[in-house]
Each structure stands twice: as C-alpha cells, then as structure tokens.
Structure 1
C-alpha cells in the first residue's frame, strides 16, 4: 500500500501540478480560471490582479487606518509567541495540545499599535475570520472589491465570507486545510506559503489533540492555558515544517513522510497579487511586513463543491497509516550521520500496522447550508487488501 500512495504523490505532480505554482501576469477569464485551475484543484498566483484597489496605496499608511477605524472595536488575537491555532506542549502531560489565541475586544488604533510595536512575550494579530471584513471593518469596504468578479462568475456564487488579516513577522499559521475556494489578496507586505495538495494528506500526520485556549492577564502580562469544557479534540497536523536546526534531524525521523517526500510548493505573494488556494490544500503561512510595519491581506472564501473529488479525498484519507503514537525510532538512528533523507525504512514503515485512527468528514445539508463535522473511527487494514 505504501508504494502506491508514494506513487500517487509523484504522479499528481507529473500529470498536473508540476514543480512550481503557475503565475499569471493578469487576471484570467472566468472560463480559463474554471478550466485550468478550479476544475484541476490547482493553485496559481495572479499578478496585477487588484491595481484599482484604493487599499493598495492607502493601507500602507497606519494613520489612514487608525483614522478610518478610530472608534471600531475589533477582535485582537493574542499569543505569547505568534503561534495561534497551533500545537504546544501540554502543561501537565508529556504530549501536545491544540491551542487558540486569547481574543480581546480592542479599539483598532490600540490594536494596530500592538502589532506594529510588539512588546516582549506578546504577539498581536488581527485574524478574526468569520466574515470579519464586512462586520468589524465595514468602514474599509469601499477600499477594495466586495468580491473577485472573474472568480465569482467561474464559481457561480459570491463569497461566503471576506476576512481581513493584519499581523507582523512574528505571527505564523501552522499547516491546515479549509473547505473553501480561497482567493487571497495581499495589500501590504508579503505572505510566504508552503503548500501541499490533498493527495499528500498522510504526510501531515493528522492526529486529534485536546483543545485549549490562551487566557491573558493584563495585570501581570502572563498567559495561561485553559482547556475547553466539555473536553473537545481537534484533528490537526503534527508537522512543523520549519523546525530549529538543532531539532531538524529528530523531526525528520518523527515525520519521514513529510521530510522525505516531495518538497512542498513554496510561494511568496506580494502586495497587489492574489493567490488562488484551492479547497482542501494544506498550507503553512508566514509573513513579512510592508512599509507600514505590518502585513495586510484580504481573503475571499467561496464555498467549495462537495463533489466526487471530495469523496476521493475522504477515501484516500481513510487508507490505513500507523498513528504517531505507534511510531518508535530505532536505537542508533539519532546518531546516524547519513542525514534525514537516508531514512527510507521509516518512510515505508508509516503505512504498516493493523489499524489506524483517522479522520473522516460528515456532511449535513440544511437547505442551502453545508456544515462539516469531524469524526474519528478506526479502520482495519484488511479492508484494503
């Protein structure tokens, strides 16, 4: 089984994805976008996509934003290290937990100042999502398009949500996927993406982690972890694609499917460019600030089609793969000087074993709304012999 899955990673790149993300010098026609990218579930970067947006010239000036949103109360996300919606060490166990940011209602000028001039041990990020651009930042709506016209025509709908992101170089987003067709427009600074297609799901080492949230005390400036009650578990990728150099070898042994497999697609999206990020693509995001001291982006979430590709993905995800807890690193491997890319035995062993806890997705349709719920079940590998 492992050889067939590894062949899939290579074949999808040979047949359709190539080795780099396509870059268009101007917006595509709706037909071209639908035919060449959406139907193929293939990302692309569109240059000169939003030259008419007033935001491109206005938002790089902090005083403009602070004046326009002077009385706006916004949802500011706070973490000690810029890692929100990420895995951190469990405070009382030798394991990890999934942690979300502390969310604090803050007047926008104060929030922007915290982002541009971060104090010690506190990283602020405006990343509320949930259609926040059209709710919390409605005063800025005239500075950019309400939707991406050629994308809306190709997809046959308007965006379900439009979000604003304002952060600094300290914030990053761990590997995850979304059930949306994502048009991601950078207004100031740069966004740096690592991308993997849905076919590479086993390389993400998705596991369920207990959910927690940071709680921040303004009195002493300290964070503490609070676990959700009732207890909830979140399926999340276990892979850190950018480990410290000292721990790279150990991480490569823990996650050989990721580090030994095909390289992720690396793209930098600059101000004025739009990234089309297809539904269910795994992405890790870092950022570099622009002249105003922060990185600003607007993204448009269009609802995906839960079609045959989605069914194929669920089947692929259900194929047995030994869980991370079952993995052991043989003695001597940590002292092996041949390097992480020599550990092919570890890569192959990831698909052995009798059973695997994997994540599947149930779709419940309520009239025009699609709700996606995660559930976990155990698969016997004999089902796929």
Structure 2
C-alpha cells in the first residue's frame, strides 16, 4: 500500500473514515515496522521461511507517519519486531523462571516494612481484591479465597488469579443452578420450593490470591481447550477450573514488580510520544488456550505486546458497535471453595449476586465468521464487518480506543513442538513439558477527545 503521504490528504474527517474503511477492507490489519522501535532481528517463533515471507511488503514508518495513518484514523495495526530486545522474550520461555519454581526471585519475599504497609492498607490495589465470597448464603471463604492483608505475612508475594468454569470472565452467560422458586412479582414463595433455574447473567470470575508456583499449578491443570458451548454453565454439575492471571488495574506495577527488568522501556516511551502522555495502566496477562475474553471495548489507546503464545483478536470498528446488542443484565460472580491440595478448587452451587445490573455486549462468534458472513447472527449480517488479527511473539497490536474486540489465544509453534517432542520415558520425562502459555504485556493510554476519529464518533452520537 502506498504511503498516505504520497497521495492527497483527506479534507474532512468523514473522508478520512472512508479512506480507513477502504484500507481495512482491502488490506485487513496491516503489519508494519516503526523506525526506532522495530528491530531487525526476528524471534524465530514462526519459522524462518514464514517470517521471510511475511516480511515482504512490510512498510517501515516514522512515528509521525504512524500517528497520521493509524492513530488519527483509528486504524489498528500490528507492529513487528518491537520486542526483540526484551529480555522477557527469552526468560519468559522458561516456566521455572517465570513462576519462580526454584525460588530465585529475591523480590518475591517481602520485607517487614512492605508487609506492614499492606496491613495498614496503603497498597490497596495489592492487598484488597473485590471478592464475591461475602454473600451470607454462600460464604465459602477460606484463607486462599479471601484476600485479607494478613494473608501475606508469610512474606510471599501473591498475585490475583481469576477462576471460571468456562474460561470467560466478564461475559454474558446462561447459568443453570438449583435455586428457590419465586412468585411472578419476584417475591419468594411462602414455602421453600427448590427449582432448577436458568438465568442470563453478566458473570465475573471468582478471584483468589496465589503464589507464583500455585499459579503455575493452576495453569497446568487447565483444560486444553475452551468448552464447546462456553456461554452455558450448569453449576449443578462438576466443572473444570480454568485459571488465568488477568487483573487489569496496573498489575505490572502492583503485583509483578519482579518482572520489570525483563521489559524494555522503548515501547512505553513510544506510546507516551504518539498518544501524548504517560500510560494510565501497565498490565500483564498469563493464561492458556482455555481462556477467551468476550466481546467488549475499552476507552483507552492500547499497545498490546505478545511475549509468548499467539493472541487472536476479532475486531469490530466502533462505528459498527451501535449494531451490537447490549442488554442490561443482572450482575453476579462465580464463587469457589478450596477442597484440598489434591483436588484444588470447586465452584459454588449458585452464582453470587451483587444487586447490580450492567449493560454488556451480547454477541459471540469465531474467526470463521470473518471469512463467511453466513456464520454471523442473522440480525448482524451486513451490519458488522469484523476483522481478525493474529499477534505473534515479539509483535505489538495497536488497538485504538473504543474498538470492539474478542480475544482468544493459542500456544505458539515453539511450545507446541516442545510439548510434542517431550520424552515419554527417561529422566527428562519426569520434568513437566512447557506450558502452552500465552504471556503478554499491555499499556493503556488516555484517549484523546480531539482525535479526528473520536470527534467523528462523537458527532454521530456513537460515544455512548
């Protein structure tokens, strides 16, 4: 695609959006390099032949051209070669290192002053986690599910881990459970009559606090794939526990300080320059292919860096978001109880409500629908034009503010081959194969309301 600077510049915001839509339709999600950010070396995670083929036709842009062609036009892209100098690209391949299985992280053990600070509540983001386990009827709390400040008096760093039976947190879910039959006016019947209840709810994950080795064990126990029908959960039956670390409240700074030396600052500095200010949050994500994020949108500019594994983004532009159903649903959360060391966690028999109602996007489709619109829900055909982007290790997705996105993940070729070639016998067989891990870092930056793309959406009332 020719550099936009070579042709006439759009004279109106509407014309810019027309150009963006045309470029997206013709070229899908473009892969680019950025001067001063993309390195010449490659990660080797996709194989030399595929990488050489993919590098053909990849443009190199200046930061100014990136801002003009992508930021100002609200156009996503994949930046290649942006993480090749990160120590994390090698270190995070080692599960023993990443999950501190040998106790090598000195910073994992806290000093008495830090523990005291936690006890005083001065680092609330680490010490306090919203928990659904305080419901009087379903109080299944124990030391591992209630994040009291004194849980860390042993000096071990703990991180927040999400647990769900279907790999989906913050998602529209049909939940079946044994409940109490109610009258039509919503009041409970005079006699306690048990009934099977199926409700459409906005479900959040149960959250626990776990040490890094405990997180590793939970990830090892994850099923290989998401359930076939993840929007349906029957709490009357035993369910697998899908774990992932996904706390999105600046957790890189709050819970993963010990990984700071693995991450170079160039990407964040790039974000500060092109978005006009420091990041609002820096987050990490650790999980396996069993997890899927439901369709949602964020009101921030996002640089999403994949260190290990492959991230699959289905993207819908914000000007099509108005067509996506967004019902207001009762809000609830899964709750867990600890069985024992061997059996781990089990889910409570009923969702725990918080008394709120939340609007959430009620649409679910896979990359197949991107190729064949017949697979889209009938009411959305011709209205939605989803795009799909696969972000490989060492690559960064620029996800503009307000773009709708659904995120799945896959093991990359390095981990797949290592798992396939793991010996069945001998001394090496006693060691676990590498996890099918997906590890990512993402930076959020404040959305600029003077951005031409945002102005256009606001003029058409699409910022609601």
1:295 pairs with 2:438: yes
Alpha-carbon distance, 1:208 to partner:
1.4
Distance 1:251 1:239, change over 3 A: farther
1:102 pairs with 2:206: yes
What is the match of residue 18 of structure 1?
25
1:209 pairs with 2:352: no
Distance 1:12 1:97, change over 3 A: farther
Alpha-carbon distance, 1:95 to partner:
4.7
1:240 pairs with 2:364: yes
Distance 1:111 1:36, change over 3 A: same
Q: Give deviations 1:110-133, integer Å, cap 9, x for gaps.
A: 112211332661000100110001
* Alignment match of 1:139 (pick from 242, 247, 258): 258
Per the normalisation by structure 1, the TM-score is 0.72
Per the normalisation by structure 2, the TM-score is 0.61
The list of structure 1 runs, each at least 4 consecutive aligned residues, that deviate by more than 6 angstroms after superposition, is 248-251
* Alignment match of 2:270 (pick from 136, 139, 150): 150
Worse-superposed segment, 115-124 or 60-69: 115-124
What is the match of residue 86 of structure 1?
171
For residues 132-281 of structure 1, the aligned pairs below 5 Å read: 132-146=251-265, 147-219=267-339, 221-229=346-354, 231-242=355-366, 252=376, 255-281=377-403
Alpha-carbon distance, 1:200 to partner:
0.5
2: CA distance between counterparts of 1:228 and 1:37?
A: 41
Please state whether the residue corresponding to 1:218 is helix, strand or coil. Answer: strand
Check the 8 A contact 1:201/1:317 in 2, yes or no. Answer: no
Check the 8 A contact 1:76/1:127 in 2, yes or no. Answer: yes
2: CA distance between counterparts of 1:58 and 1:301?
A: 24
Please state whether the residue corresponding to 1:184 is helix, strand or coil. Answer: strand
Count of matched residue positions in the alignment of Structure 1 and Structure 2: 308
2: CA distance between counterparts of 1:86 and 1:311?
A: 29
Please state whether the residue corresponding to 1:285 is helix, strand or coil. Answer: strand
What is the match of residue 40 of structure 1?
73
Worse-superposed segment, 107-116 or 268-277: 107-116
Check the 8 A contact 2:72/2:453 in 1, yes or no. Answer: no
2: CA distance between counterparts of 1:228 and 1:12?
A: 46
Alpha-carbon distance, 1:262 to partner:
4.7
What is the match of residue 125 of structure 1?
244
Please state whether the residue corresponding to 1:272 is helix, strand or coil. Answer: coil
2: CA distance between counterparts of 1:202 and 1:279?
A: 15
1: CA distance between counterparts of 2:409 and 2:312?
A: 6
What is the match of residue 457 of structure 2?
313
Q: Give deviations 1:77-104, integer Å, cap 9, x for gaps.
A: 0001101111111446655111110000
Distance 1:182 1:260, change over 3 A: same
Specify which structure has the higher proportion of strand.
1
Alpha-carbon distance, 1:159 to partner:
0.8
2: CA distance between counterparts of 1:251 and 1:267?
A: 18
What is the match of residue 50 of structure 1?
83
Alpha-carbon distance, 1:108 to partner:
1.2
Worse-superposed segment, 297-306 or 151-160: 151-160
Distance 1:244 1:188, change over 3 A: closer
2: CA distance between counterparts of 1:143 and 1:215?
A: 34
Distance 1:181 1:63, change over 3 A: same
Check the 8 A contact 1:80/1:223 in 2, yes or no. Answer: no
2: CA distance between counterparts of 1:176 and 1:61?
A: 32
What is the match of residue 112 of structure 1?
216
2: CA distance between counterparts of 1:173 and 1:82?
A: 8
2: CA distance between counterparts of 1:286 and 1:41?
A: 22
Cα RMSD between the aligned structures? 2.9
Please state whether the residue corresponding to 1:142 is helix, strand or coil. Answer: helix
2: CA distance between counterparts of 1:105 and 1:216?
A: 12
Please state whether the residue corresponding to 2:443 is helix, strand or coil. Answer: strand
Worse-superposed segment, 89-98 or 177-186: 89-98
